[in-house]
Amino acid sequence: MQLLYPDDMPFIPNLTFKEEMLKELGIKDIDELFSDVPNEIKISGLNLPQGLSQMEVENRLRKIAKKNLPFPKFLSFLGGGIKPHYIPATVRALLARSEFYTAYTPYQPEVSQGFLQAMFEYQSMIAELTGMDVANSSLYDDATALGEAMRMAYRITRKNTILIPDNISWEKKEVLKNYIKGAGLKIINVPYNDETGTIDTDYLTKNVSSDTAAIYVENPNYFGIFEENVLEIAEIAHRVGALFVVGIDPLTLGIVKSPGDYEADVVIGEGRALGMSMNFGGSSLGIFACKKEYLRQMPGRIIGLTHDSDGNRAFCMTLQTREQHIRRGKATSNICTNEGLCALAAVIYLSTIGSRGLVELGKRNLEMGKLFARKICSLPWFKMKFKGSHFNEFVVRSSQNVEYLNKELLEKGIQIGLNLEKHYPELENSILFGITELYKEEDIDRLLTAIKEVYYV
Amino acid sequence: MYRMAVYNEPLLNGLPQIKDNTVDFELDGIPESLKRDKSPEIPDLDETQLIRHFFRLSQMNYGIENGMYPLGSCTMKYNPKISEEISRWEEFANIHPYQHFSTVQGTLRMMFELEEMLCKITGMDAFTLQPAAGAHGEFLGMLLTRAYHEFNGETQRQEVILPDTAHGTNPASAHMAGFTVIEIPSNSEGMVDVDTLDKVLSDKTACFMLTNPNTLGIFESNILEIAERVHDAGALLYYDGANLNAVMGKARPGDMGFDIVHLNLHKTFGTPHGGGGPGSGPVGVKKKLERFLPIPRVEKQGKQFILNYDFPNSVGKIKQFYGNIDVCLKAYVYILLMGGNGLKEASEVAVLNSNYMKKKLVDTGLYELPYKELRKHEFVLSCEKLKEKKGVRALDVTKRLLDYGFHPPTVYFPLIVKEALMIEPTECETKEDLDRYVEALVAIAEEDAEVVKEAPHKTVVKRVDETAAARNQVLTWKES
């Protein structure tokens, strides 16, 4: 009924019964219900246009949408921890079940068993993939997960310094700074080896101390490189009683060891690749898992298995005494609303592809990364910046000006990778490329042809 | 008669495994120290089996489309289908955050216009869409508070004051940002006691956090005086926007004297809660705080929309990229649909529905309404009488409501009301449903106490033993 006629106020059925209800309340005018609002601040309405019909809104949004160029119509090879991935139809279909997506946080377990079980399954899969004992049911994103992990390390160790490598996203570091400010933590920036792109372990050894709360390592790191010395780093951390915190890309975990296998204490990561669209960097999935001994210090919601009054299996939110609605100022974190539906997408995604699919997906991304790197470096203007083994992102050094190339390619509907120089001044004329299973070899060839056209004109 | 679907649905790893699990791990390009030698134990399932699994789970879950969901302070509105659909269009879904700005003009325009709309709705001067949820917005608000005082050389301002009716996230957010939290008791009317506030305000005060209407559903009528005292003390006034649905088009936090505001798009602006998220918690500020907002800011330069990172006083970032933009898009669609007139009607009817239910329930004499009578979009009843008379607690009432096919209200909050039921019907319910809900609450109060205390009876499982869950700590299927 609100499809065509804007005069009908949508989603407010009682406008029809307003007079009747006012009468029952014994009042004449709805404004009497606002008599407690001082006259000085009362307004007569909002300075916004009248509501539109659904048809008008859809037409307007069609126009706005036309001003966006989505993948693959616009062929971007941007890395930076977010890339387009294939999303199985099962994920979309099941996420559209409104019993899931229109529900609130499962405070009433008796009518939320479905979502609770799915979250329990999500936690189980994340624990398995990361090699940790427990996982929470999501944080906002990987950057906030890193912030929470460092705060947690402080609560556990009561030490004040954290070692954070320079080969992570600059945005993540910015978020981290804000998360640790209140706890009074201090960051020691750890350089990376200019040749391999991996973290400088000598620097780590020299800079850990009895004041170190945690060492963070990302695997693969922002430059796409696998950190192969993780066992050594774990040892450096544990020697001084610090936590070893590892950031992962879940797509690698079918082919790469779980951080639990190399002695990580806390594992974080971004789960967007597990069935979510890029959405301009929107809704994300902060993965957070840890060893069981640190459970009580873990932030965020946790789902547990228990039983009902008849002794039947049941699920519910548990260990809520860590959380803000019980603990208030003393909570492990202020997080309340999380990214539940994204965690649901991840568990549906993982059950759709299975272990076999995860391994194949890892291989495919690894191989596409290698193919792409080989092809781009076959051009005379590019060479690999780092020697370390990389996954589906990598850095190349360009002999030419990156911004010029970027501008020329844009006109052909292509965007090369990310120009790193702005936030990593030591990486002059360096481009962070990304690719995934969703790209075809022809896409790479289209890029190569376009680059040649720019330089050979 | 309400019945929920019940399945003895096994865990995913208990379903039949269908694939051969031998995988070749001979791979080039992975350092030896990191090579896996066996597959992770993720179940390999047939598609029919997995679809049935999650479909059945969905049937064992209660959402807003199953029925009334009057959770206080949560604003469980209908989530328009059109918003969901538009947010999935590839032009919005398949764009990379670092794409050149000329290729994402549509989304940048949406962000710019949404910020403008939120400014007009709240009376603030500038907005950021970066926070992912309400609590995340509060945390940003606290970082802005800190940046503001530091900028003015007032680093001694380390205290945040809030009333005892505040949401739990308020003290948690203030604490996370490194502030000391001071909680002040409400007065006999359930409102901020201005004299008490005055006594704790000092040159150490950084901020006073307030929800208006507060969590009792009471409008803080002294708000102008409160704002004056807070500002006279050199502190900032923070608005927790969880209850904005009470006052849209009637009054604006900006006009009330608030300096920082966070909104919950997943409450007031009709985007789904997703079983816990994703939400979106935009933060609005007055001019004097604009320079501290996170980067980047969306700006209009001539006919083009751009992302500007050049704000040297900015607090930096609190999330990667620009916020939960897909959620923002849904809220943008909602605001276009409602218009200024519709948002005002929404608040008016939300308040009407709440007062209507409140009167009907209080008139029965079965439930009490502590503090003053006039409420906004929500109200808090006490089950204390019921407890004394029949030993039935608020928790029992909520569990019994499940048997009537309703989602219960928020329970045991705010903490200053004993045996509290916090009811927020929203504008989306019909009079008929409000009446049915009232009838259910009346019937429960008059029912055999044992039936109520053993409730629920018709749900997927009976009353869940949460204490055992905390004690046993079975958190993955490996431990089950």
Q: What is the CA radius of gyration of chain A?
A: 26
Neighbouring C-beta atoms of residue A164, cutoff 10 Å: 23
pLDDT, position B19? 72
Longest Cα–Cα distance of chain B, Å, equals 76
In B154-249, alpha helices (H)? 169-176, 194-200, 223-232
Q: Are B82 and A57 in contact (CB under 8 A)?
A: yes
| Mean per-residue pLDDT, A391-407 | 95
Sequential DSSP letters for A147-192: HHHHHHHHHHH---EEEEESSS-HHHHHHHHHHHHTTT-EEEEE-B
Q: Which two three-digit tokens encode residue B464?
A: 């869940």
- Rounded Cα gap, residues A142 and A271, in angstroms: 8
Nearest CA to CA, how far is A299 from chain B (Å)?
Answer: 12
Nearest CA to CA, how far is A174 from chain B (Å)?
Answer: 6
For an interface test with A, give the residue of B19, B21, B42, B160 to mutate (most A CBs within 10 A): B42
Q: What SS3 state is found at B135?
A: helix
CB contact (8 A) between residue A306 and residue B11: no
pLDDT, position B26? 76
Q: Which residues contact B80 (CB under 8 A, 6 or more apart)?
A: A10, A11, B270, B333, B334, B337
Nearest CA to CA, how far is B34 from chain A (Å)?
Answer: 5
CA-to-CA separations, B295 to A175, A451, B241, B299, B317, in angstroms, rounded: 11, 32, 22, 11, 6
Q: Find the residue in B nearest to A81 (Cα).
A: B320
Q: Find the residue in B nearest to A67 (Cα).
A: B106
CA-to-CA separations, A183 to A286, B41, B177, B208, in angstroms, rounded: 21, 38, 7, 21
Neighbouring C-beta atoms of residue A288, cutoff 10 Å: 29
Q: Is the pLDDT of residue A324 over 90?
A: no
| Mean per-residue pLDDT, A320-333 | 85
Judging contacts by C-beta atoms under 8 Å, the chain A residues touching residue B240 are none
- Rounded Cα gap, residues A257 and A246, in angstroms: 12
Q: Which two three-digit tokens encode residue B230?
A: 């807070």
Neighbouring C-beta atoms of residue B254, cutoff 10 Å: 21
CA-to-CA separations, B221 to A36, B189, B193, B210, B216, in angstroms, rounded: 6, 11, 11, 13, 13
pLDDT, position A8? 67
A224 touches chain B (CB under 8 A): no
CB contact (8 A) between residue B464 and residue A306: yes
Is A26 buried (19+), middle (13-18) or exposed (0-12) by CB count in 10 A?
A: exposed
CB contact (8 A) between residue B343 and residue A46: yes
* Residue tagged 């398995």 (tokens): A128
- Rounded Cα gap, residues A71 and A414, in angstroms: 10
- Rounded Cα gap, residues B94 and B107, in angstroms: 11
> What is the Cα A90 distance to its own chain's centre?
21
- Rounded Cα gap, residues A189 and A207, in angstroms: 10
Q: Is the pLDDT of residue A6 over 70?
A: no
A142 touches chain B (CB under 8 A): yes
> What's domain A89-349's architecture?
3-Layer(aba) Sandwich (3.40)
Cα angle for residues A176, A182, A184 (degrees, 5° grid): 85
Cα angle for residues A106, A248, A239 (degrees, 5° grid): 110
CA-to-CA separations, A24 to A220, A369, B378, in angstroms, rounded: 65, 69, 18
pLDDT, position A326? 82
Q: Which two three-digit tokens encode residue B29?
A: 């390009």
Q: What is the CA radius of gyration of chain B?
A: 25
Q: Is the pLDDT of residue A402 over 70?
A: yes
Residue A22 binned pLDDT confidence (cut-offs 50, 70, 90): very high
Q: Is the pLDDT of residue A322 over 90?
A: no
Sequential DSSP letters for B224-238: HHHHHHHHHTT-EEE
For residue B245, which of B372, B334, B317, B138 has the smallest C-alpha distance?
Answer: B334
For an interface test with B, give the residue of A29, A40, A46 to mutate (most B CBs within 10 A): A46
Q: Where are the domains of chain B?
A: 12-59, 81-338, 345-467
Is A58 buried (19+), middle (13-18) or exposed (0-12) by CB count in 10 A?
A: middle
Q: What SS3 state is found at A301?
A: coil
* Residue tagged 């009248």 (tokens): A50
CB contact (8 A) between residue B97 and residue A47: no
Q: Is the pLDDT of residue A7 over 80?
A: no
pLDDT in tens, A118-133: 999 999 999 999 999 9
CB contact (8 A) between residue A337 and residue B102: no
Q: Which residue in B167, B178, B275 is closest to A100 by CB distance?
A: B275
For residue B353, which of B412, B426, B451, B289 has the smallest C-alpha distance?
Answer: B426
pLDDT, position A2? 64
pLDDT in tens, B244-254: 999 999 999 99
For an interface test with A, give the residue of B117, B321, B330, B399 to mutate (most A CBs within 10 A): B321
CB contact (8 A) between residue A11 and residue B80: yes
Judging contacts by C-beta atoms under 8 Å, the chain A residues touching residue B181 are 328-329
CB contact (8 A) between residue A43 and residue B249: yes
- Rounded Cα gap, residues B204 and B226, in angstroms: 17
Nearest CA to CA, how far is B121 from chain A (Å)?
Answer: 6
Nearest CA to CA, how far is A456 from chain B (Å)?
Answer: 24
Q: Are B184 and B161 in contact (CB under 8 A)?
A: yes
| Mean per-residue pLDDT, A280-287 | 98
A386 touches chain B (CB under 8 A): no
pLDDT, position B1? 64
Q: What is the pTM of this model?
A: 0.98
Q: Find the residue in B nearest to A176 (Cα).
A: B318
Judging contacts by C-beta atoms under 8 Å, the chain B residues touching residue A37 are 219, 221, 247, 250-251
Q: Find the residue in A nearest to B55 (Cα).
A: A94
Q: Find the residue in B nearest to A371 (Cα).
A: B29
* Residue tagged 């979502």 (tokens): A115
Whole-angstrom distance between the N-terminal and C-terminal Cα of chain B? 35
Give the relative orientation of helices B431-446 and B394-403 as an angle to the nearest 10 degrees. Answer: 120
- Rounded Cα gap, residues B43 and B18, in angstroms: 9
pLDDT, position A328? 83
Tally A–B CB contacts below 8 A.
Answer: 674
For residue A419, which of A368, A70, A427, A411 has the smallest C-alpha distance?
Answer: A427
Backbone angles phi, psi at A114, to 5 degrees: -60, -55
User: What is the domain class of A75-86+356-455 according to CATH?
Assistant: alpha beta
A3 touches chain B (CB under 8 A): no
pLDDT, position A323? 83
A297 touches chain B (CB under 8 A): no
Judging contacts by C-beta atoms under 8 Å, the chain A residues touching residue B336 are 51-52, 57, 60
Backbone angles phi, psi at B111, to 5 degrees: -60, -45
> What's domain B81-338's architecture?
3-Layer(aba) Sandwich (3.40)
Q: Which residue in A124, A316, A331 is closest to B478 by CB distance?
A: A124
ipTM passes above 0.95: yes
A374 touches chain B (CB under 8 A): no
Q: What is the fold, at CATH topology level, of the domain defined by B345-467? A: Aspartate Aminotransferase, domain 1 (3.90.1150)
A279 touches chain B (CB under 8 A): yes
Judging contacts by C-beta atoms under 8 Å, the chain A residues touching residue B39 are 254, 355-356, 358-359
Give ranges for CATH 3.40.640.10 in chain A: 89-349
For residue B375, which of B220, B195, B256 has the smallest C-alpha distance?
Answer: B220
Q: Is the pLDDT of residue A1 over 60?
A: no
pLDDT < 70: residue spans in chain B: 1, 20-22
- Rounded Cα gap, residues A15 and A335, in angstroms: 36
